A and B are shown apart, each in its own frame.
Chain A
Amino acid sequence: MLLTVIPFILSMHRVASSSGSITLKCKDLKVLQLEIPGMEECLNISRSIEALSSVESVMMMYPFFYRPQSMKLKDGWQLYPLQHYYQQIATETTAWRLSCVNGEFTVCPSYPAAVIVPTAVDDNTLKKAARFHQGGRFPILSYYHKKNGTVLLRSSQPLIGPNRKRCPEDEQLLSAALNRGERGFIIDTRSAQAAKQARMMGGGTESKSSYPCWRRLHGPLERGRPLQESFIKLVEACNDTSLSMDRWLSKLESSKWLAHLKGALSTACLAAQCMEREEACVLVHGAEGTDTTLLVTALAQVILDPECRTLTGFQGLLEREWIKAGHPFHFRCARSAYSHARLKQEAPIFLLFLDCVWQLGRQFPFSLEFNEHLLLVLFEHTYASSYGTFLCNSEKERCLCEVKEKTHSLWSWLNQPSQQKKHLNPLYTYNALVIWPSVEPQSLQLWQGLFLRWIRSSQYLDEAWAEIQRLVTSCEDAPEESAGDRQCHSQPDAAHPHRQTQLGNAG
């Protein structure tokens, strides 16, 4: 019992007066108050909790010790290989190939071993292009839009620098992504000014003259420390139930969380619109290409692709666009909102993504196969988990730590029928259309199920939701039952008794 609780513990505020009480502020935003008789015990417990909740080494973390009897190691780790995704693309086009140039993680330490690149570009060119990108994250395919054959690419910023360096291989790679005569859009997740300033630090953004086929757009998104502060402020505001209406609204505003949501959704819609409406290819990058970039590419796919809105499709998306794509979960999701340690690397980018998906679910309640509960589970597991799925910062680190050999995969647990049942949206029906959300401030809502989860009772809302579930399934179960009926009895037999009674009545 204790062991499963510990991973959730973030920090301990000892109110160690005579009473001996411990306040536990958990990463899932829960706050627990424990009264412990005896000061000595209290101190011991608090020391142990403190030590156990701040384990430094990945290999010492709980997933490496978690051994549920019903599960086998290695199950679930091969559920969503990139090869499968590539195979789907390969059946439609020959313009893309799977490259193992990063097989040893030497070209780009944060990329997976296999990546999808234009067929026309060889591995040597890729290596050179990688040197021209921060962290070696050269442009690779993120999503292939079957409907019109356009692609979504992502990378990190090019290392243009103050001297406006060029890289013919990178230019070649990007033009190979387009068909002859086609134009593409580069969506930079920084403001134009920030992108320009990045040159001073050796970065920058693609210039018109070097990349004549590409047009640049800017969708500035918040990241890093300011985003973490936004999260902390919002949680603080939610936890203070004594706030007057004016204070609450002004705190909600100053947290800027909803503004970040709007920004993320708008930029993702922009990328989706370029592909779907303008039928153009899109390259997304910010600076490192591991945060806002992934936020935009992943969201755009949920909006565009009905496959990503299914339970397994969504897991595949997370695997491809967040985990394998090298979002540094270990750094970003270390301490959650109650920590006041100024951790430089901490940022709730992935939570922002989950919130955006939740907003999509609110606006299109029948179009996501999974429900809010799954999003909550994912939030919890990114910060503290019994499973290895969100451990480490990249595939390279996961290989070094032997995560796949020594821990269980979250997916194999989530895909057990008993778990799946909890996470399915009873209203779901397959919707082949693109789901364009409204991004007006009036349409965005505070995700109460997450931010107010431990603060207010949701009993009546939960009961209402159970009732919806009951109503919908009772409607939909009926045909299934009857299907069962039909299988059990051959038709004439089934009909016979009825006919007899009917005749009886008539007679």
Chain B
Amino acid sequence: MEHIRTTKVELVKLIDRFSTSNKSLTGTLYLTATHLLFIDANQKETWILHHHIAAVEKLALTTSGCPLVIQCKNFRVVHFSVPRERDCHDIYNSLLQLSRSASYEELYAFSYNPNQNESKRLQGWQLIDLAEEYRRMGVQNSNWQLSDANRDYKVCETYPRELYVPRAVSKPIIVGSSKFRSKGRFPVLSYYHRDKEAAICRCSQPLSGFSARCLEDEHMLQAISKANPAHHYMYVMDTRPKLNAMANRAAGKGYENEDNYANIRFQFVGIENIHVMRSSLQKLLEVSGTKALSVNNFLSGLENSGWLRHIKALLDAAVFLAKAIAIENATVLVHCSDGWDRTSQVCSLGALLLDSYYRTIKGFMVLIEKDWISFGHKFSDRCGQLDGDPKEISPVFTQFLEGVWHLTEQFPQAFEYNEALLLQIHEHVHSCQFGNFLGNCQKEREELKLKEKTYSLWPFLLDEQEKYLNPLYNPNFSQKLAFLEPNTVSFNFKFWRNMYHQFDRTMHPRQSVFNLIMTMNEQNKKLEEDFKELEAKLKERTRQSETLLTKEPLQSVHPASPALKSSPGFKKEQPLLPMNDSNRTIEGSNTADNRYSEYMEELSKAEPAIVSLEYGVARMTC
């Protein structure tokens, strides 16, 4: 690659980002076409994908070397110290170039080759079929039908080709309504609740300004309302804060006037825009990345960042949506400004509360394909896949995943998948390794020929789905509930340590209950398999012995077999197997990792006479 000038630098130090005494590991840094690799003296490898790099910073030269700080989109932060400034500069420049691709074709997905044959690759792309998903929901039906209005992306470029609208709506109405909506994103079906015959619909804001009206749009909303036979009113949820929506009116946009639309109930939800969210996350990361952070600074930083407030707003909106459908049987139309950020968040979280299918692994993939990918959440812009406008970057999808995580925390048995799936999806939304999340909308994806040139993430996740299974999942859990109703009182919201500190090993619990249960299940499965195999062998042997041997030798077969014969008898061996212990050993429990001695250094500042342990011991002996 033309950007790489130095491929290998030795004696680089990887500095513990939280250590106040700059504890470090020495090793070698390698630069490849796709990754930055650090191998420390213990041969432990740290791989960093170039696409994951959000920012590279070269700090002022110190006596020990030239510091290089790399912040990743998956919240890994690495702090290197390179002995020679020239090397540091070379790596810095290379990373700057490599982490900012100018065109889609440079992204990893176009070169990633997992050695899979072509037909399997194509099958992978067919794994998630949205037409099938709409059939599962129960459309088309007497009230809803597939519209071909957007077959050639003529009505709305950022929508998919297949859209579902009320049967009563004709093409002129669709076209008219789309002209009255920001970016042409007219109201369409997102989720249909079969039992309640109520729907979640989505769109963008109307171009109402202070007084403009559009009869087609009014007709459209009426048709949506009437497509719900049980009900005579529908909700229109504007997910923005009221002030923002009003400000939009001055620009000729705005929100629905209840007087112009028959039987709508209008509701603001107050989720902030992408810019607020971006700076909120930035503040959160600043706080959580502080060295020697005190509890009070952490909590006040958490408060000032506003992050958990935003997550709560998201879940509150989703609960409002789910209640409207499950309790009031009312159809809900959701929009924000352009209808691809907050609208995606609220529609998908709402559907997740209403439909247990989305709480299975496959269903979750379908949900993301439907409400995020197909409806044109601008993954490329929001994740900064290409070198573009930094103001377009925003953690909208991360917030959605965090909302899901909070639900899994409150309903440990309701989800088939676990936190690891959420983290892995987050990883790949930013990795650009698979085609699913490239580009900003379906039209763009088709133009990029992603299905021909790249791989889909979903089959890879399904292949290793054991990792993502929630061992506590109970498929019957959801049956007793009309919908999941999370408690959204503030104290339920917690800092998601496993996301924002996923690479800071020392902060995590040293023993994991989930892992233990999962390995236990795995072992049981394996033991059962072993047992079956042994049983088969035994059968074979007894058969042999019967045919070949007389009564007496039968006895000699016996001692080897009975222990294996009875199932419980075999299981007795289990505690003796080595893996059981290894599950329960403690990872990374070590004083050095926990920085108590640094805490002591802090203490020692209070009184100069006091020595810190690290250095103090030597001096004390004199």
Contact = CB atoms under 8 A, between A and B. Distances in A.
Interface stretch (B54-62, B419-427, B538-546): B538-546
A121 B610 CA distance: 29
Interface in B476-532: 487, 489-495, 497, 501, 506-513, 516-517, 520-521, 524
Given A439-B594, A494-B566, 5 more contacts: A219-B603, A440-B18, A440-B507, A456-B491, A464-B472
A485 B584 contact: no
A285 to B, nearest CB: 16
Contact of A366 (B294, B497, B511, B595): B511
A429 B586 CA distance: 12
A259 B295 contact: yes
B594 A468 contact: no
B196 interface: no
B97 interface: no
Interface string A169-208: 0000000000000010000000111000000000000001
B609 A245 contact: no
Interface centre among B491, B501, B507 (most CB of A within 10 A): B491
B530 to A, nearest CB: 14
A495 interface: yes
A276 interface: yes
A68 interface: no
Interface of A is mostly: helix
Interface stretch (B7-15, B185-193, B408-416): B408-416
Contacts of A243: 489-491
Interface string A407-444: 00000000000000000000101010111111111111
A241 B489 contact: yes
10 contacts: A246-B303, A269-B596, A273-B591, A273-B596, A437-B594, A442-B293, A442-B495, A472-B520, A482-B569, A502-B539
A364 B308 contact: no
Given A431-B584, A471-B471, A461 B412 contact: yes
Interface residues on B, range: 35 or more
B542 to A, nearest CB: 5
Interface of B: 18, 288, 293-300, 302-303, 306, 308-309, 312, 410-414, 471-472, 474, 487, 489-495, 497, 501, 506-513, 516-517, 520-521, 524, 538-539, 542-543, 546, 554, 558, 561-562, 565-566, 568-572, 574-575, 581, 584-586, 589-591, 593-597, 599-600, 603-604, 606-607, 609-611, 613, 616-617, 620-621
Contact of A253 (B296, B516, B584): B296
A445 interface: yes
Contact of A218 (B472, B538, B606): B606
A20 B122 CA distance: 74
B586 A431 contact: yes
Interface residues on A, range: 35 or more
A442 B298 contact: yes
B471 A253 contact: no
Interface in A56-110: none
Nearest to B290: A441
Contacts of A276: 591
Interface string A259-286: 1011000100110011011100000000
Contacts of A215: 610-611, 616, 620
Interface stretch (A28-36, A37-45, A135-143, A473-481): A473-481
Contacts of A248: 490-491
A292 interface: no
A238 interface: yes
